[in-house]
Structure 1
Amino acid sequence: MDPSRAGAATVRESVLTQTARYRIEVKGVVQGVGFRPFIKRLADRLGLAGTVANTGAGVAIEIETSECALANRFKELLRSEAPPASHIESMIFGELPDAVGYPVGYAGFTILPSAPADGSFTLISPDLATCADCLADIADPHGRRAAYPFTNCTNCGPRYSITRAVPYDRANTTMRPFAMCADCAAEYADVTDRRFHAEPIACPVCGPRLSHDLPAIRDALADQRIVAIKGLGGFQLACDAFSGAAVGRLRELKRRSRKPFAVMMRDLETVERFCFVEQAERELLGGSVKPIVLLRLREPGAFPDSVAPGLEQLGVMLPYTPLHQLLFSGSSICLIMTSGNLSEEPIVIANEEALRKLAPLSDLVVTHDRDIFMRVDDSVTRVVEGVPRILRRARGYAPQPISLPFEAGEILAVGPELKNTFCLTKANYAILSQHIGDLENLETIAFFEETLANLKRVYHAEPRVIAHDLHPEYMSTRWGLARPEPKIAVQHHHAHIASCMAENGLVEPVIGVAFDGTGYGTDDQIWGGEFLICEYASFERAAHLRYVPLIGGDRAAREPWRMAAAYLNDALGDEAFGLDLPCWRAVSPKTLQIIQQLLPRPALLTSSCGRLFDAVSSICGVSQASSYEGEAAILLEARAGSKSGGCYPFEIATETKPWQIDVRPLIKQIAHEVLHGQSSANVSVCFHSTIAYIIRTVCDKVRGETGLRNICLSGGTFQNRILMGSTLRLLRAAGFEVFTHARIPANDGGISLGQAAVAAARMREGRI
């Protein structure tokens, strides 16, 4: 060997015995949550030299140390002390091999410029509610961010709504046009400051800025005017929640007949003044998301009935941006805070669009000069049996991924027609879009396409397969079928159960109970009261509610008396139409005569549990018309309150497969009780109990035949607090392991996850 080369090798060997170089690659929600500043502070605390940088896949860290134990300590603390808004999905840690890993002699620890995107992807943080420190900043009259409505730091503020691309750097967000002032630049560069590398950092000097001053906005609200305000993920329409005139006018202008409005309250003390609040609800209200939470009112008459017509619960949220907080600096304590749009259209995000569309709905339009890239509505949640459950998944939750228990490849699941979300899969991640809405107009389709294009770009996703619903007339299905990629059709209720399986990481077959309003069945009828023996690739229909005519198709969901007619005719025949029941008072004798003629020869049949709820709501006089999806069932639930009741009779026909659940005895009993003066509250209590008993009875029979003990509950009917609670108690007492939704909606907002999971399983089996 050349003596000079031998000497070099000796020197290098000496260095390696003293210092080793390690590389750590972290994937998950690790950008936009203060992760790099956290890493630097941790390294400085431990005396480690090295670097950290955002990459297209997450965060890459290098450290140099002569102590292996210290490197392991760094790795342990990285996990245990990670920022609360972060989520580590995976971490690869190891000493670099000799060929590339000899120490380079780092001088301290440095945050490097982000590496360019390389086709890999990282997970984007959802938008975060204002933290306590930033609230203190805007409340400090002597601070430089006093009353500044765009205050944020690494622990809070806009993320998903402003992210144009990854890595998550200021230049890749809608903050790019705002050059940092000297003070902001100093905070951004100061490792001891909580705004160290806070990409949306802002102040009154460098912007963004509001179009109107805060006193003028507060005065307008105090004067019972309607104000359109540009928020975090879109415009909102606000007015005084105690002003019946203002709320009624907003309802008329927005074309929103009876669907309840959400109320933003000044603070938790105010919420507890008007609502009952459990600990889990308190944590939801005050956490880093601050979604809308459905709460029971202490006194239903505390607000005008126009806020939440006929309901004893209210959708409540706390201020989640500095601007919201500053609106309550005046006399307001409760404000209606609803999406800035006409009903059934997407939330408005652009200033010009707001001036065109929202000016006619409001007395004042407040804009600002920070663009919204991803429109995101408020999330809606509810606590059932102590578990927070998402009913509408949007701000604060999207686009957090669901980790699948298998590799899925790249699939686009286009979701259903109502409460649409879509789902992209990549590797073992399922990335659901935010709530898109009902695909009933071109504006919402444009929102769907806009969001899809954005997420495909951000996640470097190019789906190879499209999964869609069986219903040929769903706009999402038609959109998917028009695409060139191979297609996989997934039955609606199979997708419901598969979504619950995927959310809970299940891989073995389950008994699936899918109860909802409508879903196209494999027999061309409308399903919705289904018991399935389910795995990802396939399912068997074990049992269902007995079919009844669906007279008028979609009109039956809007006019519950139609379902009352179908069920009463099935149970009592022509005799039903001569009874003095509340449902007949909602319709003219001529129309009722036409319905009687149509019932024997229906174009469609349905097994829908949602339509059964509608029928009972109509029969006992609770609701004869639904102005929003599920209104009749929601009002029926409200009548039951928190009481418990007995069980109505029902039968299960097991002579043929699938079994049929016969509710004619139940309908006969309800009609009899209503005729004899039984209250709708008592009918509602017993009806809810009966549905829970039906579920347990059928699941017992399925277990007897299959041995299956795991049950998944899915479908919009299981958003019902009373039904969910009663069903869980009965099934668990019977020895079942029950899995439900929490992170994604039980309603159609979770369907796309199930479509993607089914498609992935069929692709693995070569069924495409």
Structure 2
Amino acid sequence: MYKIKISGVVQGVGFRPFVYNLARQMSLNGFVLNSSAGLEIEVEGRQRDLDRFVESVQTLHPNAAKIVKFMIITLPNQGYERFEIRQSNSGAGSTMISPDLRVCEDCIEELHSHGDHRHEYPFINCTNCGPRYSIIERTPYDRPLTSMKDFTICGICRAEYENPANRRFHAQPIACGTCGPKLRFLDVNFNVVDGDPISNCRREILNGRIIGIKGIGGFHLACDAMNEDTVSRLRILKRRPAKPFAVMCDLDYLANIVNYTKEHVDLLKSPPAPIVLIPKVVMTSSELSVRSGRNDCINQASISNLIQSPIADSVAPDNHNLGVFLPYSPHQLLLFNCDGFHDPLYLVMTSGNIDDEPIAKEEHELDGLCDYYLSHDRPILNRCDDSVIAASMTDMILLRRSRGYVPSPILIPAETIPTLGTGAELKISFCLAHKDLIYMSPYIGNNNSKATSDFYQEQIDRYINWFRIKPELVACDLHPDYLTTHYAEKTGLPIIRVQHHHAHIASVMAENMIDEPIIGVSYDGTGYGEDGAIWGGEIFIADYYTCERKYHLQYMPLPSGDTSVSHPIRIAYAYLQSSGINTEFLTSISDFEKRVIDSQLKTKLHLFQTSSMGRLFDCVSAMLGLFPKITFEAQSAMALEQLCCLEQHLNITSYPYRLEDIVAKHSNAPKEISVRPMLEAISKEILEDGSKYVIASKLHKTIIEFTIAALVQLRQESGIKKCVLSGGVMQNMVLFEGLKKGLSQQGFTVYYARQLPANDGAIAAGQVLIANCRIR
């Protein structure tokens, strides 16, 4: 007989019915029950059937489940006569909570089946899909402790809920049109509009209206993605001048707007159902007319030989990629398959908020941002934005880990005491850790507003209660003015302050179960350095305890610190002027700005030193005249990545650079990567009317080349052959793929973020590992 203990996300996801049916199919006897640790199984029968059973449990379990630990103990047979689902142990109720999950194929089939009890019911769900994280108030995950507590279950649903052979067995959000939540369509004054809510919503979208659509983890602001005027109006209301919007559409029409692969579709249809960045389609006007079925979406005056897909230019301007996702909730599916509407529907579906604020979960939070609301009466208890993935030909990188992924735990290579990692200032998220598991929060926000601060505090309190982890230690960033640092200081707990880029590297080490020194590359926009400078182009030899800075981009002057980040032209002028490089071609900077910066360079007042890779991208972007001023983070870097055509310029040479020893008192001082020769060469090419595409490609090639050169040199000195790629710049797929390929060819084992974002959204994970190592 086998006694099996499984921990992970194994409750509320259909695991017990799966085990029950599997055991009965294999003529095995015993039982399965929920325990305080997760799931417990005792099973006996023929040995070959037991071994098949174990393999099937590990490989064929429900998609919504996540096994973190699987333990088998061999015991004497107990003489069980049948297999059954038993009542949970006293105190049962795993502290692991399932993420919200895309509606499953079985529910989709029932949704569209005319004879089904839940035909066109917009809140259909089962143990394999539907809301989890967003509706839970307290653990254990039982209906009375969720936002479904006020919906009294009907007789039909009760019978399914109590039937172990039914996939709705103990499905806590189970509901139908008789007993469950209801949709409603509201006007701007929150009055109910007569008629079918889905039809009303579809009609008003096609009339050019902006609709606040209540989803699983919050509201979306939705509009017709083919309507240029409406998309432009949405940008004004949301205060988002240029940052790309995501588009939701049916899989049947996805080929009209992006060049997707099977791997892209697998991601789009996976249980988390993230937004996936995919290359846009370019079509002729005749192809567009045939594919779209809507000639009225074509502005004939703007058509040249080739035009983009039916999506309005303002949806994702100056970008070769488009963020797309499929309908993942039942009411979204109904909106896309609404009776009486036959044309393809492409919806801008962007977070319901003012840009960078937390996503709205109630109608009044969108006051003034939309014309109507498609809402419902199931409360959202936990906000959760859409997750975002960048996918290349060979890999994928999480840009935002949120809906569909949180709060699933991640196994780490060392045990910790109960610890809170507070995170950074951008891409704010926190981490709660205990023993060998970490629990990451969803994306909280991107600023230090009161709404962000309140949401941050609320979710920390909930995580502590859910997972029954009372922090004994708090880890935060070195930067003294971050919201997250201030929060750490207010806890009254022992504090470990962790350097930003060390935390980046440690987060990648942790998810890859690395527990030895590595060479770590950390490229991003900003991070408070141990010398008080602004770091961001760093190469270390690191473990969880120490982080020895070995190389960094040469220090360059950043006038007025982070306030210059939104004005790349000022960065370019300061870099070039301080390097003695001709600045006459920088025509977008005013004489006044030049005089101010010249004064700062001379007096050193309000002048900061930076080694940031992000600022280097800003500088080159402004030199090329792309974005003298930016309106969202990394806009300059994205523009350069879009221009980059390495595959079309395979024979291009790189720009010159130098790996220089710094004259210092200490022999172990880091070396500088001098980019002055590169900036001189780029300036010369610009003055000679060089191609922006070639310059962008050569820039990327040079960064790849000097990074590999530095790592090869460090390997010779240290013998370390494992390296980590981290930091927000690794979201640049051209750079990331080039580094990964080049380092692998040089014999390195390359590790990078897969379960966590490469950006600051993973900082908190690194913080808790480092803090625990330091207190040992």
2:229 equivalent in structure 1: 245
| Cα-to-partner distance string for 1:545-574 (whole Å, 9 max, x where unaligned) | 10011102112211001210122123325x
> Aligned letter for 1:144?
H
CA contact (8 A) 2:120 2:334 kept: yes
> Aligned letter for 2:476?
H
1:606 equivalent in structure 2: 610
CA contact (8 A) 2:63 2:271 kept: no
2:638 equivalent in structure 1: 634
1-structure distance, mates of 2:519, 2:389: 26
2:451 equivalent in structure 1: 443
1:618 equivalent in structure 2: 622
1:109 equivalent in structure 2: 83
1:286 to 2:269 alignment: yes
* 1:406 aligns with one of 411, 414, 417: 414
* 1:75 aligns with one of 40, 50, 54: 54
Q: CA deviation at 1:440?
A: 1.5
CA contact (8 A) 2:253 2:344 kept: no
CA contact (8 A) 1:423 1:433 kept: yes
| Cα-to-partner distance string for 1:387-411 (whole Å, 9 max, x where unaligned) | 1211000011111222111111211
CA contact (8 A) 2:552 2:671 kept: yes
CA contact (8 A) 1:560 1:614 kept: yes
> Aligned letter for 1:631?
Q
CA contact (8 A) 2:387 2:402 kept: yes
2-structure distance, mates of 1:621, 1:346: 33
2-structure distance, mates of 1:323, 1:66: 45
1-structure distance, mates of 2:95, 2:422: 22
Cα–Cα, structure 1 residues 164 and 62, in superposed 2: closer, same or farther, change >3 Å?
farther
1:643 to 2:648 alignment: yes
Q: CA deviation at 1:95?
A: 5.5
Q: CA deviation at 1:31?
A: 1.1
1:431 equivalent in structure 2: 439
Identity %: 40
Superposition pairs of residues 325-364 of structure 1, within 5 angstroms: 325-329=333-337, 330=341, 331-350=343-362, 354=363, 356-364=364-372
2-structure distance, mates of 1:25, 1:735: 40
CA contact (8 A) 1:114 1:169 kept: no
2-structure distance, mates of 1:170, 1:755: 35
| Cα-to-partner distance string for 1:88-138 (whole Å, 9 max, x where unaligned) | 2223333668xxx966x66x43333444547x8532221111111211111
2-structure distance, mates of 1:70, 1:382: 42
Q: CA deviation at 1:501?
A: 0.7
1:681 equivalent in structure 2: 693
> Aligned letter for 1:524?
G
SS at match of 1:543: strand
1:231 equivalent in structure 2: 215
| Cα-to-partner distance string for 1:666-710 (whole Å, 9 max, x where unaligned) | 001111111111122111111011100010111111112111111
Q: CA deviation at 1:271?
A: 1.6
CA contact (8 A) 2:8 2:409 kept: no
Q: CA deviation at 1:233?
A: 0.4
Superposition pairs of residues 151-550 of structure 1, within 5 angstroms: 151-212=124-185, 213-267=197-251, 269-299=252-282, 301-302=308-309, 303-329=311-337, 330=341, 331-350=343-362, 354=363, 356-550=364-558
| Cα-to-partner distance string for 1:43-74 (whole Å, 9 max, x where unaligned) | 322344443322332112344x4756655554
Q: CA deviation at 1:478?
A: 1.1
> Aligned letter for 1:539?
C
* 2:562 aligns with one of 528, 532, 554: 554
2-structure distance, mates of 1:593, 1:326: 60
2-structure distance, mates of 1:110, 1:159: 26
Cα–Cα, structure 1 residues 202 and 552, in superposed 2: closer, same or farther, change >3 Å?
same
CA contact (8 A) 1:54 1:167 kept: no
1:43 equivalent in structure 2: 23
Q: CA deviation at 1:24?
A: 2.9
Q: CA deviation at 1:314?
A: 0.9
2:13 equivalent in structure 1: 33
> Aligned letter for 2:139?
V
CA contact (8 A) 1:387 1:742 kept: no
2-structure distance, mates of 1:643, 1:283: 29
* 1:710 aligns with one of 713, 722, 733: 722
1:725 to 2:737 alignment: yes
> Aligned letter for 1:229?
I
Q: CA deviation at 1:477?
A: 0.6
CA contact (8 A) 2:520 2:723 kept: yes
SS at match of 2:376: coil
Q: CA deviation at 1:614?
A: 0.3
2:302 equivalent in structure 1: none
| Cα-to-partner distance string for 1:275-298 (whole Å, 9 max, x where unaligned) | 111332221112222111111112
| Cα-to-partner distance string for 1:200-237 (whole Å, 9 max, x where unaligned) | 21111111111132111111112111110110101111
SS at match of 2:254: helix
* 1:587 aligns with one of 582, 586, 589: 589
> Aligned letter for 2:10?
V
2-structure distance, mates of 1:651, 1:181: 73
1:57 equivalent in structure 2: 37
| Cα-to-partner distance string for 1:279-322 (whole Å, 9 max, x where unaligned) | 32221112222111111112263322221122121111111111
2:300 equivalent in structure 1: none
> Aligned letter for 2:567?
E
Moved more, 410-419 or 555-564: 555-564
2-structure distance, mates of 1:646, 1:31: 56
Cα–Cα, structure 1 residues 314 and 68, in superposed 2: closer, same or farther, change >3 Å?
closer
> Aligned letter for 2:137?
R
TM-score by length of 2: 0.90
2-structure distance, mates of 1:425, 1:547: 36
2-structure distance, mates of 1:77, 1:737: 32
SS at match of 1:408: strand
CA contact (8 A) 1:358 1:365 kept: no
Let me know the Cα RMSD of the aligned residues. Answer: 1.9
| Cα-to-partner distance string for 1:427-469 (whole Å, 9 max, x where unaligned) | 1001111111224201001111111111111110101100000
SS at match of 1:690: helix
1-structure distance, mates of 2:674, 2:258: 39
Q: CA deviation at 1:250?
A: 0.9
1-structure distance, mates of 2:353, 2:45: 60
CA contact (8 A) 1:190 1:196 kept: yes
CA contact (8 A) 1:280 1:387 kept: no
1-structure distance, mates of 2:234, 2:660: 51
